[in-house]
Structure 1
Amino acid sequence: MTHLSRLQQGIQRGEFLITAEVMPPKGGNPATMLHMAQLLDPWVHGINVTDGSRAVLRMSSLAAASLLQQHHLEPIYQVACRDRNRIALQADLMGANALGIRNVLALTGDPVRAGDQPQAKAVYDYESVRLLQVIQKLNQGMDSENQPLPDGALNLFPGAAVDPQSGSWSGLQRRFERKLQAGAQFFQSQMIVDFDRLEKFMTQIAQGCGRPILAGIFLLKSAKNAHYINKNVPGVKIPEALIQRLERAVHPLEEGIRIASEQVQWARQLCQGVHLMAVKREDLIPEILTQAGLSPTNPARYTPPAPPDPKGHGATGAGEMPGK
């Protein structure tokens, strides 16, 4: 009997899907990543492990996903085409399958010039649609050249990224349909700030596609953080009203948690799930979900936080945590 990942099971049951993102370490010690992933585990159907996000050097996403797997956590292994040719991509996918990793997010990859190794040579032998097509072949027991795999087919569960805020509506529709045809089983969106645009995407493009769409929700930690994103992240324009809320807040991080929880509630009315991003503050994602009225997806693995010490020596509230 084929083993279904936790994400696949959630999709089959029609649950509101929750995924979140962790970054592999920039170095050899995975302790912080594993700690954050363990905090997320009771709340999510899968934990995305980024692959050189924004072209910044970090530990291999395959190695990091395997570490999560070893700790009985549910990884979503991100694979970017930027750094590897078709031989290396297929080899890594075979390795992931052998390690028991099922969920794969196929990405083209951010441009090298955006990162911390701007002299690196980009590969882009494939882009995300072609990678999805290759995963489909590998699952059927064939490689990219239609040669049979003598040691067995793969059993991967592929997903893809989508950007409902894309400037080209026809381009968005065309690329979404190509990813569907290439075998994408779920979609995680880029950071959403325009929920009218998300609703339009869901009703005009994604409706009836039979695949869950997870809206990308990003924790804004301060007005400075929001301004940085507007300046440096293509295709994202955080509304001035949200920036002003953060500027006026006595505790901007707490306000950012409230904003993210409101956005989760909006997404619940429009699509089939959320994908949460809280760079370096993944520990706050459970609070976002709690404020949004959601419960742990896996209650058996959930341990409620200890109550604050009345003498002031216990856990601190979210507003007292540094918003770096």
Structure 2
Amino acid sequence: MADTSNFLSSISFRDAARNGDFLITAEVAPPKGGNPEHMLRMAATLKGRVHAVNITDGSRAVLRMTPLAASAILLKHGIEPICQFACRDRNRIAMQADLMGAHALGIRNILALTGDPVKAGDHPNCKGVFDLEAVRLLQVIQKLNLGVDFNDKPLTDGELDLFPGAAVDPQCSSWSGLQSRFEKKLAAGAQFFQSQLITDFDRLQKFMDGIAAGCNKPILAGIFLLKSAKNAEFINRMVPGVNIPQDIIDRLAAAPDPLQEGMKIASEQVQFAKQLCQGVHLMAVKREDLIAPILDMAGIAPIGKVYAQVDGNF
């Protein structure tokens, strides 16, 4: 495995966010097993194209490697992670312990999530914890950054320096609920927001002009690569809160090459988002290698990164 310790950004995700850069992140799943090579290969295709790589935490309640370890592996290879923390599987003691561990390992970016219900996943009979939820997790991170724990007791071995973010769903059916939740996350210290999959860009604009206006925190629109009409229909059935419009499904169904059409749709959505918000979060499950071509199609230039020459593959 090649040494990629110099595969580092000239600017951190935190600095890019604070500078007002158009932010680009992408999602990579941790391995289901002990071998991280596939994850590293997919992350390597994102070099020079994204500011940071999200590592999921049991997305859809499906078992995978802990994102804490997977993020540490990426960091070791010079790839800046955004480590997702879901409240489903840990109580507040374990959550704080893992956050301390993340800081000690050099992981700084944390996405605070409540987590998908266990019945949605591959261990439906296991017990969900949910001792905290996303807002309270953000509050915990605030405290840890100030040098105290959940109970306001001092951290005798030093405060943390984490950069927390949160999820947002501009397509939520309850506008008042969306506003309330967003404002609570802001008050709890969220420094950036990554959205769920966006298909209704009019709704995104309404959210940006209304609820998010003046918040001074970057909003990254979730862009999902749809590989076929069948894939889009599956997502509509299986992913709560997602409604891929029929015209997109019909477009994929009529295309001679559905995957290429899905890439074109994603690139168009990146262009829409660039006019509305401060970044995009790209999701291309099992085809992360197509994210750079999608960005090319959207006219998004490589970001300002500095790399060393690396021989061999991950």
TM > 0.5 between the two?
A: yes
The one of 16, 22, 27 equivalent to 1:10 is: 16
Opposite residue 193 of structure 1, the aligned amino acid is: T
Residues 194 and 145 (structure 1), Cα distance of their counterparts in 2 relative to 1, 3 Å cut: same
Structure 1 residue 245, shift from structure 2 partner:
0.8
Name 2:186's counterpart in structure 1. Answer: 180
Opposite residue 145 of structure 1, the aligned amino acid is: N
Q: Following superposition of structure 1 onto structure 2, how do residues 1-324 of structure 1 map, counting pairs within 5 Å?
A: 6-301=12-307
Q: Secondary structure at the match of 1:206?
A: coil
Name which of structure 1's ranges 249-258 and 32-41 shifts more when overlaid on structure 2: 32-41
Structure 1 residue 41, shift from structure 2 partner:
2.5
Conserved 8 A contact 1:139-1:154? yes
Conserved 8 A contact 2:30-2:70? yes
Q: Secondary structure at the match of 1:33?
A: helix
Once residues 268 and 301 of structure 1 are traced to their aligned partners in structure 2, the CA distance between those partners, rounded to angstroms, is 26
Q: How many residues align?
A: 300
Once residues 37 and 238 of structure 1 are traced to their aligned partners in structure 2, the CA distance between those partners, rounded to angstroms, is 27
Opposite residue 221 of structure 1, the aligned amino acid is: K
Once residues 14 and 143 of structure 1 are traced to their aligned partners in structure 2, the CA distance between those partners, rounded to angstroms, is 31
Q: Which runs of 4+ in 1 moved over 6 A?
A: none
Once residues 29 and 299 of structure 1 are traced to their aligned partners in structure 2, the CA distance between those partners, rounded to angstroms, is 28
> Between the two proteins, what is the percent identity of the paired residues?
67
Q: Secondary structure at the match of 2:210?
A: helix
Q: Secondary structure at the match of 2:167?
A: strand
Once residues 297 and 96 of structure 1 are traced to their aligned partners in structure 2, the CA distance between those partners, rounded to angstroms, is 26
Once residues 263 and 13 of structure 2 are traced to their aligned partners in structure 1, the CA distance between those partners, rounded to angstroms, is 25
Once residues 191 and 6 of structure 1 are traced to their aligned partners in structure 2, the CA distance between those partners, rounded to angstroms, is 25
Once residues 5 and 180 of structure 1 are traced to their aligned partners in structure 2, the CA distance between those partners, rounded to angstroms, is 24
Please list the CA deviations of residues 213-245 of structure 1 after superposition, one character each: whole Å capped at 9, or x if unmatched.
000000000000000011111111111111111
Once residues 141 and 13 of structure 1 are traced to their aligned partners in structure 2, the CA distance between those partners, rounded to angstroms, is 26
Q: Which has the higher contact order (CA 8 A, sep 6+)?
A: 2
Q: Secondary structure at the match of 2:158?
A: coil
Residues 294 and 5 (structure 1), Cα distance of their counterparts in 2 relative to 1, 3 Å cut: closer
Conserved 8 A contact 1:296-1:302? no
Once residues 137 and 256 of structure 2 are traced to their aligned partners in structure 1, the CA distance between those partners, rounded to angstroms, is 46
Conserved 8 A contact 2:11-2:305? no
Conserved 8 A contact 1:62-1:77? yes
Once residues 302 and 114 of structure 1 are traced to their aligned partners in structure 2, the CA distance between those partners, rounded to angstroms, is 42
Q: Secondary structure at the match of 2:256?
A: coil
Gaps of 5+ in 1: 304-324
Q: Secondary structure at the match of 1:257?
A: helix
Structure 1 residue 301, shift from structure 2 partner:
3.5
Name 2:5's counterpart in structure 1. Answer: none
Once residues 298 and 44 of structure 1 are traced to their aligned partners in structure 2, the CA distance between those partners, rounded to angstroms, is 10
Conserved 8 A contact 1:5-1:103? no
Conserved 8 A contact 2:236-2:244? yes
Q: CA RMSD in A?
A: 1.2
